[in-house]
Structure formats: structure tokens, C-alpha cells
Structure 1
Amino acid sequence: VDKWGAGRYQPKTKLIERLMINTGISKVLFLREEYGDGQGAFVYSKRNKYEGNWKDGLRDGFGVHTLPDRSKYVGQHKKGQRHGKGTEILKNGEKYSGNWKDGTREGKGIYTWPSGSKYVGEFKNWDLNGHGTFSFPDGGKYVGEFKDGEHHGIGVHTESDGDRYEGQWKNGMPHGKGIHTQTNNDVYEGQWLKGSKHGQGIYTMKDLGEYEGQWRNSDMEGQGTLTFHNGYYITGIWKEGSPLLGTARWPNGNQYEGEFKSWAWNGQGKFSVPSGHHIIGEFKQYEPWKTIEYDKNGVVVGKVVDGVQTIKNSSQITPKLEIDN
């Protein structure tokens, strides 16, 4: 049984001689399979019986084949194999109706599961292969290409709540280029790897702004820029979803360049304002820790050691920390 619940059956034509009995469809019961010609029945073994049309000792034409595993096939045959239109009903309630070729599901067909799942599309080598639509019990749906029972190729997967992915798939997971639209209308467009955002991509957040850059394992990681709706942005190197080393700039021209940790200024950096006034040194949680402050002419006007201001001057500047103003 594959991941979609599709049962496997390889027909076996074991020649077993049986005594004459009454059948529900045919008046003729062949004692040996090779005697089959026209319409009749043959019992292969207990619970393994075929009733229908024969030709030269082989199942050929319309017939009903009941199997020992309590599955049943009703449909066309050719030279002893399922071939043409037919329906297979499995013991567990799964059902396939569609085309068959040389004993296997191949061509257009419909497969249903007791759970409520349903596939309508192409089959090959027994499995979901080609283009089709898979409907889930909760209302979700995938429309696109399949390979060996998995989403594979180009397709659109829509969840019942509206969450949607459109793009490339590989082995059942987003892989390649794709667009993911969340229920809150946040959108990611870019590269995917084995189900994760990975590579170059743009993430548009309706209530915040937009990140454009590199991703790894669905986190912002590598070179990238996050621009907020008010014009404030952070650009530089990102790791595990937060800035590591880069530049933060406000619409009024204020700017911080340096190290970050957990989104805050942490480490060596420089804060400056458009006039040229600036602070250089070590910052902790946005605050100057071991820094020297210079005016626009390069004159020292302030100094901080272990978070304590040691030189005070009326021209001292205070870093602008609010990103939403």
C-alpha cells in the first residue's frame, strides 16, 4: 500500500481444476482455465473466481473477478489482464474507477478513500502519475502534477483555511520556485528546498514591511534587507531570522552600523546623525557601553565606560531607538 492508500494487486492465473457449480452470472463453469471461451466462469481457488467473457482460455471482454483478499474488479479484460475501463473495489473501502492497461491502472481515473479523500486525474504503473486533482477530507485541495503518488512538478495546494502554495514541488514538498500566501495575506515568493524557504526570496508582511534577501531553513539568513512601512530599514548579514551585522537607517537620516544580537545593537558599532555627530564603540541592548562621542568636527564631546557617561556636554546626542516613529 502506497502513501495514498492505493492497494496493490498482481493477478495470478494458477490453473486449478474444479467441479461444476452454479454461478450467478454464467451458466457455464469451466473446469480448466484453458477451456474458457465465450461467456462463463472459472474458480481459481477458494474466494478467487472470475465470471464473464473469455477468449482462447484467457479473460477477455467484460467480467467480474473476485479475489481472495475480498477485493473485486468489474470491467474490461484483454488477454487475461485488466485492460480498458474498469472498477476495482478493495476490502478496506478504497475504490478505483478508470482506465487500465496490461493489468495496471493507467490513464484517466478516479480513486476514492473511505476517509473522504479523492483523486481525479492520470495514473501510470498503478500510481498517481501525471496531472490531477487531490481533494482532502478537510476541504483542502491540490491541483497539479504527480509522480509516484507525490506532488511533483508544478502545482497549487490550497488549505481549507485559504493558506496557499503555488509553484514547484519535488517528492511531495515545495522545492524550487514558489509563492506561499498565508491566511493573513503575508506572501513569500522565492526559492524553496525540501519544504523550506531556502535561497533568494521576498517576504511581504502586510502589517510590517518587506524582507528581500537570502533564506535558510525558512529563516532570514545571509545577505538581506528588511524595510518597514515607515521607511526604516535594516540591511546586512542575517542569521536564524535576525540581523547579525549590518546597517539600520531611519527616514530622518539617523543611522547605526555594526553588530546586532537578538535584533538589538550589541557589539561594536557606530551611531550617527545627518549633521555628522556620531558615537563609536561598544553597545549593549541599544545603549552605549564603551563608546566615544564626536561632534561634526571630530571633537570628543562624550565618553561612556561600562555604561556610565564620563564626559558630559550639551551637544551630546541620544541614539534614536524607536523604529516605528
Structure 2
Amino acid sequence: MAMMTEESKLVAETEQPENDNISHLPALIRLEVRRYEGETCEGQYHGEGFALFKGDHIYKGMFSKGLMKGFGVFTEASGLKYEGEFVCNMPMGQGTFTWPDGSTYTGEIHRGTRHGMGTYKCAKSGVCYIGQWYQGKRHGKGIVYYSGDQTSWYKGDWVMNNREGWGERCYPSGNFYSGEWKNNLRHGEGTMTWQELRQQYLGEWEEGVQHGRGTHVWILRRTYESHFSQSNRYKGDFFQGQRHGEGIFYYAGGAIYEGWWKKNEKHGQGKFTFKDGRVFQGEFLDDRMMTPDIKTLYTFFRSDSGSSILGPDKALNIECVLEKVPESKRDTESKQVQFVVLQHEVQLRYIYDFYSRLGSSQSPDNTFLLYRLPFWRLLKDSNIHHHGVTLTQIDHFIRGKILTTNYSTLIRKIHFPFTPILFRTLLSYLVIVAYFIYSKDVESQENVLATCLSKLLIEDILPNAQNVKGFLFRQPDFAVVAMKYMKKCWGIYQVFCRLRTTHKDDVTMTCRHLLWMFKDLCLLDQKMTTARLLEIIAAETSEPENLTACLDLEITFLEFFEVLLGCAEVKCPQDSDVEGDRSLHKCDSKGESDLCEVEAREREIQTNSHDQSVSPSFQMGHSTDQDLVRVEDHETPQSTEETEEPGHQVKDTKTSRMEIKDREVTLRTQEMHQFFNNHFFPAFEHHQLTVEEKLLQDQRCKKTQ
């Protein structure tokens, strides 16, 4: 626990004062001319001239009908100078203020104050602000450099001279924060990286400190001859900068603690899993296990875990399926399963790493942890749901593997999309899934579990994994942006699950309930018809042409969210010219070459169908860089008669496809923003208000009766 002592060093960075050494402009002064030299017209100052005012203020520039108008230079007796445009004796338009100490402001002026875009530089401190102003204060978008070498800066939103909204802050120490601000303090969602301490926090903030849900990572220094960096990771509740509440701590050595915390220490009910698989579950007090004899309370994942050939980092927890095997054969079955895992370990690790990165923008140590959402995507990419089993049923198969401290927590987390999954947990999941899918087909085999696992890996997982489908993860850049809407959509999903589900120990919805939700939210129209919505829902089913076959199937949050993303493309389409490029791009990718024919065929079906308002069928596709490379490798370069540079055409084709890919991501992002912000979220909020008003009316009616 030596790592914990460093936490005392982790203090909040000193924030700059509100004024940031910004020089202020004096109030407007009343001018009385004492002497004038220059051009006149009809007895009034008109044209270029020089004026000396009462109080020794000086103006040199253009006049019009007795007033300063046009370009000129005004110097106050105090030394403040303005050089720029005037309108009716007022600094207005573009200009430059210069203070006696050398500080300057250059930009837009309105009625003598900084207003619009402008740049302020402080001569004393080196502070420089470039951005928007409102009535003399920083307001809008802007960047401020707090040092002359520009190593300390803030870039983002301002509200009346305060950092407020979204912004990035680079501190003099090199520490970096990106996220939300309020009243000059980190407040809301944000990510902070401490360079010297090699730590990172991603989560909620309140008044400058970690407060709420978040993830804190401690990156450990590499040991001698180590090729990989390691890290401790905590994910859970924070209170006023400390681990406090419920959370999980992943130790670099492989141990895991899940349970309750108090002021950075394990305190209350918890579960500690040692790296060798041993488990202590019980009471913790002041960071210590409370038991008179710790050895008597150790349990094991398996009674013979010490003889495991996989090692502690891959120890399997498959007791729930081993129990279905005669006791005399369990040891043999277990070892045969481990041999299958060893045979495919390298490929499985690649798959784990690949799906761990989906939807993740960055990691301080370039390591990623798989969680349930991309695990669902792995199962769907591998067509596991084509075996007559849904993802929600699979969640129930593996529910015993979820690390929890009590049964109620288990119920809530059966379908929780953000449950972390270690590599050894993924291996256990695959064994369990394989048994429930293939056990009846191979029940006559000698080693049933090993045969099921081998069949699942060879026929389903290995040939199809990393070939990402669906609306969410198939484009990494788009997925990172889409994840920002995940939290709010998860809340909406839970609301409708509670409204629809008939099982006390489950929180899911069916496809039929999803259709009802769209109807309740009034999201169906000429573009988003019921038939069109059904096409999107059924796109990845085993029978996509049978639109009604899936109505009673339960769906997980992944399927719910991907339907929303599919609806965004239909309900909020962008520029039609680029849409053509997107269709062309999909047809170019290997694995999607048949999509154009499918879409053309379904257009005929839709043309002859009863609902003439339904547009061409929506197809779930995938697009990977490997696919593009394979297509390009088979392209035939033009002959020398057609071009002098045979390789130039290939390079242009690659560039063109990359541009199309980038434009498609941009378009999909715009469609998604428009759908969620202009349609889905407002519709849900309106629906909730309507429901609440109806409940209040019902209560009033009961009282009157």
C-alpha cells in the first residue's frame, strides 16, 4: 500500500485570480475642446485635425460635423491611448488600447469598451487573452496564456470573466485538465492528468476536487527489463477528493477489491480477490480485513486451483457448468478446457485488446479494460445471437460471475453495460456461453466442455471477431463522440425498462416495447415509419427480412442505443451528394460488396410494398481499414498509355477513400447530434412532463372524490 502515501501530494492546482491581471478601461469622460487645429466646414470641425481637450486629453485624427468620426488617436492625460475607429466621439469598431505600463488590447470596440473578438496582452505578467469579449469582460470562446512562454494556458468557455462551461487547462507543472468548469473551478465531467505523479482521473468534479463517480489511475514505473507499464486503477465513488462510497480497485499485480470505502480506505463490506484466485469476503475496517483467523475465511475459485495450468491471470471460474458434468470427470474436463484456452490464447488476447479499445479515446498507459458493452458487440460480431439465444439470455447464463457484495447489487448489474471484464473473466464467459449453445450437439463426446469451447472458438469467435458491425463501434472516431450520449440514453433505457418489464429481477425491454416507446415519444413520421424502424431493429437478426419475428425478443442497452443511432441516419439525413459518397464507400469495402445489390433488391420490394412512404431498406454494415487495404491491393493499375505514373492512381484512390471515410464520420456525427439534441431528448423530456402532469391530475381527482 505504499502507493497510497503519494496521494497526500495530490493537491489541487492553484487557479489564477479572476482578473488575471487584466487592465480596466476608465469610465467615459466629458470632453470640452480648449484648442483645435485642422480642417473645418461650415464652422464645424470637419476633416483631419488636432484637438486639445480640457484636462489635457489629446485627439489627432478625423472629424465629421464637429465630432470625432473615422480613424484617430486619442490620448488621455493619464497616459492611456486609443488608436482606431471613432463614431460620434465614441471608440467604435476596430482599434487598439495601450495602457501606460505597456499593456495592449487590439480588436473590436463598442461604445468605448472591449466587445467582440480581441486580444489583450499584459506587459507586467505576460498574460495574453485571445478571444471573445462582452461589455469589457471575457465572455464566449477564448484562450488565455498565463506566462510569456505559453506553457500555462486555458482554452475554452468564459462567462463574464470566469472560466465556465467546457475548457482545457494546462498548468505550469505540465498537469492537464480537460472538461467542465464553473466559477473558475473544475466542476462537472472532466479528465485531469498529473504528469509528475503519473496519475489520471476521469469523472465528476465539484468545486475543484473529485466528487461523484470517476476513475483514478496510478501509472507505476516500469521495473527493470519490463516491456509494459502497469497501473493501479480505482473506479467508483469520490467525496471531496477522496475514495468514499462504493468502488472497485484493480491492483497492478492482479488483485481486485470491490466494496465500500471511507476516506481513501477500505471500510465496510467488501470482497478482496488475490492474484492467485483466493477470495476474502467480509468486513473491512480502516483498510484492514476484520477476522480472527484469515486463513479460515479464504475461499477458492476451484478446489484444485493450485494445479491450474493457465496461471493466476487466466484462472477460470466455470463451476456453474462443471457442476453439470459427473464429479468423476470434472478434473479431466477442467484440464481439457484449459488446453483449448492455451491453444488459442494469443488470438484471444488480441481479440480482448481489440474490443477493449472500442469507444475509448485514450489511456495514460495505453492499456484498456474490456467492459460489457463491447463484450456484447463481440458476441454479435461473432453471430452468437444467430444460435437462437439473445444477449439478455447470455447475461443470465453468466450472472454468477458478476463480482458483487450482495444480491440486490447482482440484480441491478445483470445487464449493466459498464461492468468491467478481465481477460480471465472473458475466458470463463466464453466457456459458459459455449456450453449453453453447443452442449446438446456434442453430448455424446468424451470432453463436452472442451469440445463446446473449441467449436465456439473455431466456428464463431475466431473467424468473425474484429469484423465490427452495427451502428456504434464500426467507426472508431464516431464511437468516441457517440459515447458522450451514452449516460443519458442509459437513464432513458432504464426508465422504459421499469415501465415495461414484468420480471422483478430483470430490467430489459423487448423490441415491441421499443416500438411503443417511439410511439409514446411521437418520433414516428413520414421519414421514420414503423416499417423503417422495424428494418433497423431487425437488421442484425438471423432473419432480417422477417420484420415481425423479433418483436418479442428482449434487447440489451447496446441494441437499444444502436437502434437510436440507426434512426439518426434516417430521421436527420445530411447533404445528399455526400450520401452518395457514403453509399459508394460502403460498396467498396470487402464484406459489404453485396450491400448495393441487397439495397437495390429491397428498393424494388419497398416500391411494390403497401407503405409507399418507406425509403430504401437500411442495412447494417461494417467498414474496416483492413477491408480497404484488401480492396486496394486487388486494384489493377492503369497502363503506361493511360498515365505516366502507374502508382499515382492508387495513391489518389487511397486518399479519396480516406476523405470519403472522414466525411462519412463527420456526417454521421452531425446526424447524431441533431437527432439527440433536437428530437430524442426533447421528446423524452416532454413525455416525462406529460406523465407527471397526468399523475398529478389523477391524484387531484381522487382527492375530490
TM-score, length basis structure 1? 0.74
The SS at the match of 1:243 is strand
Amino acid at match of 2:266: P
- Contact in 2 for aligned 1:4/1:149 (Cα 8 Å): no
CA contact (8 A) 2:129 2:143 kept: yes
For residues 8 and 236 of structure 1, the distance between their equivalents in structure 2, rounded to whole angstroms, comes to 54
Q: Does 1:253 align with 2:253?
A: no
Distance 2:33 2:122 in 1: 37
Q: Relative to 1, partners in 2 of residues 1:13 and 1:227: Cα closer, same or farther, differing over 3 Å?
A: closer
Which of 117, 120, 134 is equivalent to 1:124?
134
* Post-superposition CA distance 1:261-302 (Å, at most 9, x none): 1x23368997612279xxxxxxxxxxxxxxxxxxxxxxxxxx
More helix by share: 2
| Equivalent pair of 2:201/2:215 in contact (CA under 8 Å) | yes
Query: Residues 51, 267 of structure 1: CA spacing in aligned structure 2 closer, same or farther, 3 A cutoff?
Result: farther
Answer with 1 or 2: which has the greater Rg. 1
Partner of 2:53: 44
Aligned equivalent of 2:210, options 171, 177, 197: 197
Which aligned pairs between 1:264-275 and structure 2 lie closer than 5 A? 264-265=288-289, 272-274=297-299
Asked whether the equivalents of residues 47 and 70 of structure 1 are also in contact (C-alpha less than 8 Å), the reply is no
For the 8 Å contact 1:84–1:100, the answer to whether it is kept is: yes
For 1:1-325, what aligned pairs fall within 5 Å after superposition?
Answer: 3-19=19-35, 27-28=37-38, 35-114=44-123, 115-137=125-147, 139-183=151-195, 184-207=197-220, 208-247=231-270, 248-251=272-275, 252-261=277-286, 263-265=287-289, 272-274=297-299
CA drift of 1:176 comes to: 0.6
TM-score for the superposition, normalised by structure 2: 0.35
Deviation at 1:5, TM superposition (A): 2.4
1:13 CA displacement = 4.5
Mark the runs of 5 or more structure 1 residues left unpaired by the alignment. 21-26, 277-325
Matched position secondary structure for 1:206 = strand
Structure 2, unmatched stretches of 5+, are 1-16, 221-230, 302-705
**How far apart are the structure 2 equivalents of 1:269 and 1:9?**
74
CA contact (8 A) 2:245 2:261 kept: yes
Q: Distance in 1 between matches of 2:146 and 2:23?
A: 18
Deviations 1:137-195 (A, max 9, x none): 16212221222222221111122443111111111111110011120442111001111
Relative distance call for 1:44 and 1:269 in structure 2 (3 A) is farther
CA deviation after TM superposition for structure 1 residue 102, in Å = 2.4
Q: Cα gap change, 1:136/1:19 in structure 2, threshold over 3 Å: closer, same or farther?
A: closer
- Shift of the 68–239 alpha-carbon distance from structure 1 to 2, 3 Å rule, reads farther
Q: Does the CA contact (< 8 Å) of 1:35 and 1:56 recur in 2?
A: yes
Describe the shift of the 1:140–1:229 C-alpha distance in structure 2 as closer, same or farther (beyond 3 A): same
Q: Is the 8 A contact 1:191 1:201 kept in 2?
A: yes
Measure, in 1, the Cα distance between the counterparts of 2:54 and 2:71.
Answer: 21
**C-alpha distance in 2, partners of 1:127/1:98?**
13
- SS of residue in 1 equivalent to 2:245: strand
Q: Secondary structure at the match of 2:21?
A: coil
Name the counterpart of 1:312.
none
Distance 1:268 1:191 in 2: 39
Runs of 4+ off more than 3 Å:
10-13, 265-271
